[in-house]
Structure 1
Amino acid sequence: MKHKHLTALLTVLLSTFAFSQSATIRGVILDEAQNPISDVSIRFGTDAGTISNTNGFYDIKVPSDTDIVLIFTHIGHKRVEAKFNLKNGQELEFNPVLKTDVEQIAVVVINTNTKQSVEGVTTISPEVLRTIKGAQPGVENILKTLPGVNISNELSTQYSVRGGNFDENLVYVNEIEVYRPFLIRSGNQEGLSFVNTDLVQNVDFSAGGFQAKYGDKLSSVLDITYRNPVSFGMRADLSLLGGSLSAETVSKNGKFSGIAGVRYRDNSLILNNLETEGNVEPVFADVQTFLTYRFSDKFHLNFLGNISVNQYNFQPENRQTNFGTLQDPIALLVFYEGQEKDEYQTYFGAFKANYFANEKTTLKFIASAYHTTEQEYFDILAQYRLGEVNTNIGDEDLGEVEFSEGIGSQLTHARNDLDALIFNAEHRGDYKTDDDATIEWSLKYTHEDIRDRLVEWEVIDSAGFSIRPPRENQPNFQPDTPFTGPLVAFEDIRAFNQVRIDRLQAFAQYSKRGYWGNNEIFYNVGVRAHQWTVSGDNIESNSQVTVSPRGQFAIKPDWDSDVLFRIAGGLYSQPPFYRELRDSSGTVQPNVKAQKSFHVVLGNEYSFEIWDRPFKLVSEAYYKGLTDVNPYTLENVRIRYRARNNAVAYAYGVDLRLNGEFVPGTESWFSFGYLKTEENIDDRGYISRPTDQRLKFGILFQDYVPNIPDLKMYLNLVYNTGVPGGSPSYADPYDFQIRLRDYRRADLGMSYVLVNPEKTYNANWKNAFKELSLGFEIYNMFNNQNTITNTWVRDVYSKRQFAIPNFLTPRVFNVRLSAKF
């Protein structure tokens, strides 16, 4: 119902346009916990008025040189009245805080924004995003605590949702779809998330059963809204891992507003603590801005821009990994030569025009361009020893390999370059009917032009014998019987692709809120259509079409208890992106079909009160049946598709989330998720998919010292059971269903507020800040040894393959200084 607020705002603007002498009052309406409140009624006199939008923002014109009383009312909060007398053309920012009125509300609801509740959307406070940091800060650091969302790599911003992979998630910023680099294979190469949390006003997340207005992906939608500033301000953040600076401003006449942010990140502190020693230089930086110009009350123009440069240089030296058991300890000792140089540069720009035709109709036009140039170069020789470890306490060589069970070497080479240019042009619109229903539609054209050079090879030697590719059918009985065949690399991929993909997408949907007897109901029905054509050099052009009907229904019974029930589902399809068209040999397969899924989601929300404070329990059960599945292998964060729709799959599970004020004035939550997802490739039987993470627990807890309220803390804790992973390259997944270790991680942060905006100070230096805090953080507080993949080493004597775990980050300490001006 976001556009309902815009329509109401336009109604007021148009009705007050007749004033020849007027002034403007705008601001953000907050509750006692400093969270924005939507649907607050703001009025003066008898007729003139407006309501706050989903971000709590309001903007109203009032007569100048006249005493007027502005009245703010909202169900569940005390009425606020404020008297004004402004000069002609004057603009004033007024941010009222509405307190809870226990006499008017019998049942407390945490999130008064019922729009998100009925649509199955989780809303995350932007203040939580800015407060809760992590080894890889951003919105993804908070998403990993939600049920159904799995992140088992703190160096990565990629996440899987309810059995899907990283490529199955949609991300929007102010209704503009954003993209991520293609070649990233490891989390420590990724850099920054696209979303700059310093610019965020609102975060909505849906883990399934989302509406037709969102694009064609199978798993989730992350819908971000950037702020439209109402005053000048600056925010800075500095830590041992980098820093950020953002600024926002608005012109005197209120027509122009803009917000911009600069971020710099250096992960050396974290990566230098990994088990592989060497010289590592991971430097990531970006500049981002969101600008708005209001030409008139009817026409607004927005611009979203981003420039990102990520550089990752690595010269490994040595590594020792101890594994096995106490009775049979084993160690892998590796010495390296060579280096890796990766660079990813992305440029993104989008214009969005909003035309408010009348009180009922809003028309939008969006044009965007995304350009990425990526290179991945490395030549690394790894020479290893695998053997028994000396465990005799007191020996000088304690912990060293004293008897080698296997020796060998591995030479890897890559010269990968990718240049991708993506254009989008879209028209969106919505219309409010007389019976308070909403009709939304869109028509979108996308052109993708991708040039990709892929050159990778790997040679493996074990005890003097070159290891041949496992997919070879030629028998090899070395060392017992000489092998006379030609020597070939264990892996050799060479391809050059020039691919063009043209897409035409459209959707239409109808939404309505009303009553069924005394019960409040909401329903939404819609359909998407997607036609795409793949062409290119030496590629036979191929065109396909998919249609995806979707629907939602929610009911809030007229009960004493505050309970909401909802059901959502439909047919979802994911037409292939470039990476899904490229098979394991690097060849583009233009006939790859869209993966399809049938979703059904049953949800329940129960709002209640404990200790005179509000709480909410959200539970969802879901089932997804997938057809035309494109199987893939997962190594760290690199996905390699087989580019064949030769599998079927399913996923089902239950998600639970309890959130509320466990500590007065702070929001915390506890999450639990159960998931099972399996696939059947070529009708060989069902096996676990690479994302089959059965159990998940997440905690986000905030607290403060009662006697020292300026001393605050947070705990971000995640436990995930292990996923299948770590199989050798191109191995048959039916032969390798070994699961990685359970993922356990706890990040703790403490901060002391030096300057609180609600206080006054005698010290002049403190008056220069609106907010100032100093923090101390412990990442991986319990120093758990989590793994992301396995390195496979062959013992020529026993002919066994050892799975040596690749560990993630150990315990790391960080210091942070945050300020707002």
Structure 2
Amino acid sequence: MLEIVLFLKQLSIVNKFILLKKLKLTSCLILILAPILLLAQNATINGVILDQYNQPIEAVNIKGENFGTQTNSNGFFSLKIPANTDVTIIFSHVSHKNIEATFNLKKGEILEFNPVMKVDAVQISTVVINSKKRKDVEGIVTIEPKVLLKIPGAQAGVENLLKTLPGVSSNNELSTQYSVRGGNYDENLVYVNGIEVYRPFLIRSGQQEGLSFVNSDLVSNIEFSAGGFQAKYGDKLSSVLDITYKKPTDFGVSANLSLLGGSLAVETASTDNKFSGIIGLRYRDNSLLVDAKETETNFNPTFADLQSYFSYRVSDKLELSFLGNASLNKYDYIPLTRQTNFGTLDNPLALIVQYQGQEKDNYKTLFGALSAAYKVNQDLDLALVTSTYHTTEEEYFDILAQYALGEVNGNIGDENFGEVEFAEGIGSQLNHGRNDLDALISTIEAKGLYTKNEHEVRFSVKYTNEDIRDRLVEWEVIDSAGFSINPPSSDAFNEQPYQPYEGPLEAFQNVRARNNTTINRLQAYVQWSKRSTLGEHDVWYNAGIRSHSWTVNDQATSTSVSQSVFSPRAQFAIKPNWDKDMLFRISSGLYYQPPFYRELRDRNGNVQANVKAQKSFHLVIGNDYSFSLWDRPFKLTSEAYYKKLTDVNPYTLENVRIRYRANNNAEAFAYGLDLRLNGEFVPGTESWFSFGYLKTEENINNRGYIARPTDQRLKFAALFQDYVPNIPSMKMYLNLVYNTGLPGGSPSYADPYVYQNRLPDYKRADVGLQFVLVDKNKQFNSGWKKHFKDLSLGFEIFNVFNVQNSITNTWVRDVYSKRQYAIPNYLTPRVFNIRTTMRF
């Protein structure tokens, strides 16, 4: 035991990494329990076996190679099988024909399989049931969760992985937000175990975000659709991320530690498999990344959360589950100095900034969801889901920035090369903010699934109440060489020092609002699916319709506005009976996005209750081509898409903060092509290469089409896994992303029809190297390693090529020359990180 504790101490960066000290007691308990942990990696099959008259069959023998069980008096059975391998199971009964089926399930996956046994008919032939293949016809990308814990990234997690997919774009590694096929961050649905989750409202920059809601340690399944999704998903315009948390079958513990934070997850299950639970604790510290930026700061962040998912099978028909989350994000930021070099080789310049003041942000979130699933009979499943999301957010800042423009020594070989030799005073900028928000969102949903023969019908009714209280106080004062600069909207332009200014002084920006808004929503959907054949070809149909009615009550203006929309959607897929493994699919529909609170608030902070739902027509045509190369499986996925948007609510994008006009005065379009090639480029590991082309433009007030803020034309990404040939335990992981520049280089107050500047292209490569000490192929029966199922040590290099990517421009004005300078705000440079992963 002493050797183990010493080993763990060596893994920690003791003085730097405070989290490990907090977890030391927990780690000791884990080590005491480790010898009794099971090594099995299982999946579970549950179901009810009925006869042809829908009566349960008792004492059906269910047998695999060296395991088996029987159905009870209600025909129910539960069987654990080895995961990630083909397992053939025979269902037999003395008075019925045998059924034989082959399963290949992921670790921890729970599959419901309900065969019907007949006495006088030929039964099901051998069928391979693979969870990943079932989603191909729906145009859904399925990703192995184990990849989440391996791929390097400044924001490691599900979102980091999504950014390597075609059609998904981001130019900010500090943020978990992403845009899909021309949409913005607010247009993406995120579900965890079928429950919609939300992100904080007031986040302005990526370094404030902290933790994503999705805990990678708890994930068992990841599904993602970039458009043309089914009616069962909600009302957003762009994408769906559908996450499923684990239902453990055994006791286990996992931990991940790095200089950016750590996580601990504990999972367990009862011996009768009726109860299962998993708890995850995470802590993150962005200091490593923020300290590497060009702004010298005192930075004291605290990002932590606790999540849990419990399920209990009360009977063969009833199962209860609970999903909970409590998070605390504290962001204390005191900027000190900054120097940004820019310009050309002939005229190198630098911006020098001295700061005073600080920013204090506090985001507290509580989330809980309780669901009950009831199996009425072989054909009908019902569920009732209730959830509550509560967030309290505070954003307080007073920061004075005094800046000067300097001339940089550009003489190569000079001992003062790169230093500022002369600085000219430009001005100062004072930013003040006192923003408070309290949001309570409660939902209740009843839904069901009816299956009969090859038909499947899903339906749901959902009620949501959103109660939001918001105080917004922000102002900014700018002066140049001691003279106050009026806002761009002011008619009285300040011509000082050449002409005296006698008008009243105005803040450059001044936003003050107090809102108390409630929104009541009633949503419903019904959709039908069927698998069939068309000649010798396999086909799949899906059609559905959603309805969404909502009422906005704004107490500030004593207004109440009610609206309703209907969203029909359809999908069709065909798998031809060809020698080549091809799958074709097409999906289309009308997609609405009824406004959330953020979309109702205009640039002055006031709520516009009459904002309509944005409307988008989707058409997606796709193809999957599966083939073998070097005797290994590969798949090429191609999708062409077109979106026509009306009643568009224009917005500006500053870092990750979206400011809407709260006016449906625009129309837009988006079209493009996405390609993804994935497969075993290296035996036993999945890698992929992605390419995307996008064009999206909008027409505001019939002034003509211009690029939207998310018009990222070209995208290339690669996620590659490899190992050192002579040292197979040394694994290499590469995360590569290239995006062309966004139209975000103009001042936020500028008329987009006058200024269409673009930021530079975004180029980034993250590399991780891990030495695997223990895994499923490398187990130990003695020594300190015997207590581990997995153990690896490694390091990561973020931004390997040290590319200076910029997220926005800071605009400073020289009152003497009347010129404005665009100063790039750079993201993180090259950063090194140490990381260890273990599982007991």
| Superposed pair shares fold, TM > 0.5 | yes
Matching of residues 101-116 of structure 1 within 5 Å: 113-116=132-135
SS at match of 2:308: strand
Q: Cα distance, 1:622 vs. partner?
A: 0.3
Tell me the equivalent position of 1:471: 489
Match of 2:315 in 1: 296
| 8 Å Cα contact 2:485-2:494 kept in structure 1 | no
Shift of 1:47: 3.9
Q: Match of 1:580, SS?
A: helix
State the distance in 2 between where 1:112 and 1:60 align.
Answer: 11
Q: 1:463 deviation in Å?
A: 1.1
Amino acid at match of 1:511: S
CA offsets per residue over residues 589-608 of structure 1, 9 Å max, x none?
Answer: 00000000000000011000
1:598-677 pair list within 5 angstroms: 598-677=617-696
Q: Determine if contact 1:514/1:521 at 8 Å carries over to the other structure.
A: yes
Q: How many residues align?
A: 769
Alignment of 1:450-465 (within 5 A): 450-465=468-483
SS at match of 2:602: coil
Give the 3 Å change call, closer, same or farther, for CA 58–394 of structure 1 in structure 2. closer
Equivalent of residue 574 in structure 1, options 593, 603, 618? 593
Residue 69 of structure 1 is matched in structure 2 by none
* AA in 2 matched with 1:628: D
Which residue is equivalent to 2:555?
A: 537
After the TM superposition, which residues 237-386 of structure 1 pair with which residues of structure 2 at under 5 Å, given as runs?
A: 237-386=256-405
Checking the alignment, whether the CA contact within 8 Å between 2:103 and 2:128 is kept in structure 1 is no
Q: Is the 8 A contact 1:774 1:818 kept in 2?
A: yes
Superposed CA offset, 1:297-326 (max 9, x none) = 100001000000001101110000001111
* Partner residue in 2 for 1:392: 411
* 1:372-423 deviations in Å (ceiling 9; x for gaps): 0000001000000013212234555433333445510000000000000000
Letter of the 2:47 partner, please give it.
L
Counterpart-to-counterpart distance in 1, 2:592 and 2:205: 28
Distance 2:182 2:706 in 1: 13
Query: What is the match of residue 716 of structure 1?
Result: 735
Mapped to 2, the partners of 1:635 and 1:74 lie a distance apart of 56
Structure 2 match to 1:734: 753
Question: For residue 597 of structure 1, what is the aligned residue in structure 2?
Answer: 616
What is the rounded CA distance, in whole Å, between the counterparts of 1:619 and 1:690 in structure 2? 25
Cα displacement (A) at 1:60: 9.8
Counterpart in the other structure of 2:91: 43
- Give the structure-2-normalised TM-score: 0.88
- Separation in 1, partners of 2:393, 2:103: 43
**Equivalent residue number for residue 137 of structure 1:** 156
The answer to whether 1:483 aligns with 2:501 is yes
Equivalent residue, structure 1, for 2:9: none
1:695-728 Cα offsets, whole Å, 9 max, x none, are 0000000011233221111100000000010332
Q: Spell out, residue by residue over 1:455-501, the C-alpha distance to the aligned partner (whole angstroms, 9 max, x if none).
A: 00000011111111111223433332222110010011111000000
Code of the residue aligned with 1:193 in structure 2: it is S
Q: Say if 2:56 and 2:74, in contact at 8 Å, map to a contact too.
A: no
Give how far 1:349 is off.
Answer: 0.1
User: Structure 1: how far apart are the matches of 2:140 and 2:710?
Assistant: 23
CA distance in 1, matches of 2:683, 2:572: 34
CA distance in 1, matches of 2:497, 2:779: 81
Q: Secondary structure at the match of 1:9?
A: strand
> Shift of residue 41 of structure 1?
5.3
For 2:57, which of 5, 9, 15 is the aligned residue?
Answer: 15
How far, CA to CA, are the matches of 2:552 and 2:105 in structure 1?
Answer: 40
- In structure 2, distance between residues paired with 1:816 and 1:292: 32
1:681 aligns with 2:679: no
Partner of 1:524: 542
Between stretches 723-732 and 504-513, larger displacement belongs to 723-732
Shift in alpha-carbon separation, 1:510–1:362, aligned structure 2, 3 A: same
Query: Relative to structure 1, is the Cα distance of residues 53 and 358 closer, same or farther in structure 2, using a 3 angstrom cutoff?
Result: farther
CA RMSD for the aligned pairs?
Answer: 2.4
Q: Counterparts of 1:762 and 1:697 in 2: how far apart (Å)? A: 45
Q: Which residue of 1 aligns with 2:827?
A: 808
- CA deviation vs aligned residue, 1:599-632 (integer Å, no higher than 9, x gap): 0000011000000000000000000000000000
Residues in 1 aligned to 2:459 and 2:838: alpha-carbon distance in whole angstroms? 42
Change (3 A) 1:643 1:41: farther
Aligned to 1:796: 815
Q: Among all aligned residue pairs of Structure 1 and Structure 2, give the percentage whose two residues are the same amino acid.
A: 64
Looking at structure 2, the residues matched to 209 and 763 of structure 1 have their Cα atoms a distance apart, in angstroms, of 53
The separation in 2 between residues aligned to 1:468 and 1:591, in whole angstroms, is: 32
Question: Aligned residue for 1:441?
Answer: 459
Tell me, what secondary structure is at the counterpart of 1:115?
helix
Give the Cα–Cα distance (whole angstroms) in 2 for the partners of residues 354 and 42 of structure 1: 28
Cα 1:22–1:165 shift into 2, 3 Å:
closer
Please, which of 193, 207, 222 is the counterpart of residue 188 of structure 1? 207
Deviates more, 1:50-59 or 1:333-342: 50-59
SS at match of 1:661: strand
For residues 497 and 58 of structure 1, the distance between their equivalents in structure 2, rounded to whole angstroms, comes to 46
Whole-angstrom distance in 2 between the partners of 1:773 and 1:226: 24
CA spacing shift, 1:28–1:788, aligned 2, 3 Å:
farther
- Whether the 8 Å contact between 1:432 and 1:438 is mirrored in structure 2 is yes
Deviation at 1:15, TM superposition (A): 3.3
Residues 180 and 73 of structure 1, relative CA distance in 2, 3 Å threshold = farther
> What letter corresponds to residue 236 of structure 1 in structure 2?
A
Where do 1:117-156 residues align within 5 Å? 117-156=136-175
2:431 matched to 1:412?
Answer: yes
The 3 A distance-change label for structure 1 pair 11 and 397 is same
Distance 1:21 1:575 in 2: 45
- Check conservation: 1:129, 1:139, Cα contact below 8 A: yes
